[in-house]
Amino acid sequence: MRRRPLVVFLLLTAASLAASEDSGKRWWSHVEYLASDQLEGRLTGSVGHRKAAEYVAEQFKKDGLVPAGALGYIQPVRFYSRTIVEKNSSLELIQNGHAEALQLAEEVILSARIRPARTLSPSLAFVGYGLTVPEYRYDDLKGLDLRGKVAVYLYGGPSTIPGALRAHYSSLEERWKSLKRAGAVGVLAISDPHHMDIPWDRLMVLRTQPAMTLADPKLEETPGEQFAAFFNPTHAEKLFAGTEHSFSELVALADSGKPLPTFPLAVSLSAKVAFEEKSVVSQNLVGILRGTDPKLKSEYVVLSAHLDHLGVGEPIQGDRIYNGAMDNAAGVATILDVAAMLHESNAKHRRSILFVSFTGEEKGLLGSRYFVAHPTVPLRSMVGNLNVDMFLPIIPLKILTVLGLNDSSLGPMLRSVVEPLGVTIQEDPEPARNLFIRSDQYNFIRAGIPAIYFKVGAAPGSPEAAIGKRWLTDHYHAPSDDTHQPVDFGAAAKYNQVVLHLIQAMADQPAAPTWSQDSFFRRYAKAEPKALSAP
Ligand SMILES: [Zn+2]
């Protein structure tokens, strides 16, 4: 059954209605191609992604962008791609000399985002949230000796620590820095069952996807990590057998934002991990729309979106192609639509606008990590980033949820752009989802560049919020995120207008965007122009 997308148009003046209708149609035509079965879900390193990249390059050319990759618009990026060979792998829990085999997939999912040790028999320590946040003198690892151990942690954090900071220290790289310092050799992560974007049965389906890392050894995120796995919260009670704590007690503490105890587990692990590895190449794309100010045109404001998605995988309801229409064909279509609108209107702006399409986002923001470490324009000439990822135009656009709203001058700038459109702004009502570190803007932020990211939002508890939640459960990273789902074209067209006006404002303001005095992330701006280094 194919449903026709639900069309909702904006009430605008006749002229802008026509323009907006054109923009909405053009936006959707990009989505239709990029999310078509023909491109097979645009997996990083795949033929489908390469075809999508060729399409983006063609559009860049049509819109008069100057090629700014390494080969025309393209910046090639090399990756290692790994998959776990489950039939040759095993995991056992050992307690008092007694071994219990764990069921791979149902109880535990092995991760290949690291190059795992083939065999390992570590003891286990529960490290709470596994967080070290020096600014708040908060340290789950205080006094723990994790030498040779695998750290078991629960996703989340104490409510006393602001969302962005918590998100930052929960990132793979930051969390691993402190765990490694304490001696850990690996991690076993457990989700809070009440805060899972994707239910376990779908995680099981997704586990066969290849994991990837950048081939550039300087860009390794978790050096020395030998084991990584996720434990199904439904079965997690068995990890705590023989201790004074139960998993349900720990979840209750986490749900109320309280600190967690840390303690050694009575069970240890015996792991045999088999995996396959190959190397693949994929594409970032970079194009420039030149500014007109003699001085400011050598500065860039960056408009970015990731092109990659999950490719072909385990079927759900007979469908194997993970089309990624909302995630993130829609976002790439937005930057293409904005490029076309700028081209058509022949608008002048002082700074140059850099259009970037990233690969490897789904594999851990890897294309943007590579780009910021190997920028094709000088890193310090990029003065701000607006990133578009999964903005979800499935409900009317009345509210924008903004990540990084108070961190830089981009927040107030966005406010002045949306007010005339009758759109209000809210901060992230669900900081537990860590959205701030979950897309490519994060690599710009870490390189000291003010960035902002926003999506169609809803008031907490409203029917619209429920639609968003249901979308995550049913469609997020599922084959049904395709072009047959209901889309609110009015919301998409309005969103694209907001992006257009904000990027123009960023390009035209006399002063470059600045970090807020009290933003945690401001410290990266003062660091030497060395990408991805710790402050
Ligand atoms: Zn995604």
Please report, for the domain that includes residue 412, its CATH number. 3.40.630.10
User: Residue holding tokens 């006393």?
Assistant: 160
The string of pLDDT tens digits covering residues 344-372 is: 999 899 999 999 999 999 999 999 999 99
Please calculate the CA angle 462-467-471 and round it to the nearest 5 degrees: 145
| Structure tokens belonging to residue 134 | 């020096």
Low-confidence residues of the chain, pLDDT below 70?
1-21, 432-433, 526-535
Same domain, 365 and 444: yes
How many CA atoms, within 13 angstroms, populate the side-chain half-sphere of residue 511? Answer: 8
Q: What whole-number distance in Å separates Cα of residue 126 and Cα of residue 146?
A: 10
One-letter identity of residue 529? P
- Give the 3-state DSSP-derived string for 9-37, with helices as H, strands as E and coil as C: CCCCCHHHHHHHHHHHHHHHHHHHHHCCH
User: Is residue 2 assigned to a domain?
Assistant: no
pTM of the model: 0.88
**What does the pLDDT read at residue 527?**
60
| Ligand 1 geometric centre to CA of 456 (Å) | 16
The parent domain of residue 57 ranges over 14-81+278-526
User: Is residue 533 assigned to a domain?
Assistant: no
Same domain, 296 and 422: yes
| Ligand 1 geometric centre to CA of 428 (Å) | 18
| Ligand 1 geometric centre to CA of 479 (Å) | 12
Same domain, 419 and 329: yes
Bridge-based pairing of strands 275-289 and 66-67 is antiparallel
User: Is residue 370 assigned to a domain?
Assistant: yes
| Ligand 1 geometric centre to CA of 57 (Å) | 22
One-letter identity of residue 462? S
User: Is residue 306 assigned to a domain?
Assistant: yes
Between the alpha carbon of residue 377 and those of residues 61, 383, 450, the distances in Å are 18, 12, 17
**What does the pLDDT read at residue 9?**
35
Same domain, 180 and 306: no
**What does the pLDDT read at residue 206?**
84
| Ligand 1 geometric centre to CA of 68 (Å) | 26
Same domain, 75 and 191: no
User: Residue holding tokens 């070290």?
Assistant: 132
Cis peptide before 328 (omega within 30 of 0): yes
Same domain, 243 and 324: no
Helix (H) or strand (E) holding 302: strand 300-306
| Ligand 1 geometric centre to CA of 121 (Å) | 33
User: Is residue 9 assigned to a domain?
Assistant: no
Please calculate the CA angle 367-111-265 and round it to the nearest 5 degrees: 130
Same domain, 144 and 165: yes
The count of domains in the chain is: 2
User: Is residue 3 assigned to a domain?
Assistant: no
CATH number at residue 186: 3.50.30.30
Domain boundary among 242, 273, 304: 273
Domain boundary among 273, 301, 322: 273
Please name which of 513, 517, 489 lies closest in space to residue 503, comparing C-alpha atoms: 513
| Structure tokens belonging to residue 84 | 């776990």
**What does the pLDDT read at residue 195?**
85
Q: What whole-number distance in Å separates Cα of residue 45 and Cα of residue 73?
A: 17
| Ligand 1 geometric centre to CA of 362 (Å) | 5
Please name which of 63, 519, 100 lies closest in space to residue 270, comparing C-alpha atoms: 100
Same domain, 451 and 323: yes
Percent helix, strand and coil across the chain, each rounded to 5?
35, 25, 40
Between the alpha carbon of residue 180 and those of residues 28, 130, 199, 216, 243, the distances in Å are 46, 11, 29, 21, 24
Query: Within a 10 A sphere around the Cβ of 314, how many other Cβ atoms?
Result: 14
| Ligand 1 geometric centre to CA of 15 (Å) | 36
**What does the pLDDT read at residue 519?**
87
Same domain, 238 and 319: no
Per residue in 514-527, is it b (16+ CB within 10 Å) or e — as a string?
ebbeebbbbebeee
User: Is residue 46 assigned to a domain?
Assistant: yes
Same domain, 197 and 248: yes
Q: What whole-number distance in Å separates Cα of residue 535 and Cα of residue 523?
A: 7
Please calculate the CA angle 36-40-44 and round it to the nearest 5 degrees: 120
| Ligand 1 geometric centre to CA of 313 (Å) | 14
Q: Are 39 and 47 in contact (CB under 8 A)?
A: no
Between the alpha carbon of residue 302 and those of residues 46, 287, 416, 440, the distances in Å are 26, 10, 20, 11
**What does the pLDDT read at residue 428?**
87
Q: What whole-number distance in Å separates Cα of residue 520 and Cα of residue 321?
A: 40
| Ligand 1 geometric centre to CA of 20 (Å) | 27
| Ligand 1 geometric centre to CA of 439 (Å) | 9
| Ligand 1 geometric centre to CA of 179 (Å) | 27
Domain boundary among 273, 292, 324: 273
User: Is residue 201 assigned to a domain?
Assistant: yes
Residues in contact with 108: Cβ distance below 8 Å, sequence separation at least 6, in sequence order:
91, 102, 188, 229, 230, 231, 232
Helices 47-62 and 330-345: angle between axes, nearest 10 degrees: 20
**What does the pLDDT read at residue 18?**
53
Same domain, 332 and 205: no
DSSP state of 393: T
Same domain, 96 and 75: no
Sign of CA dihedral 83, 86, 90, 91: positive
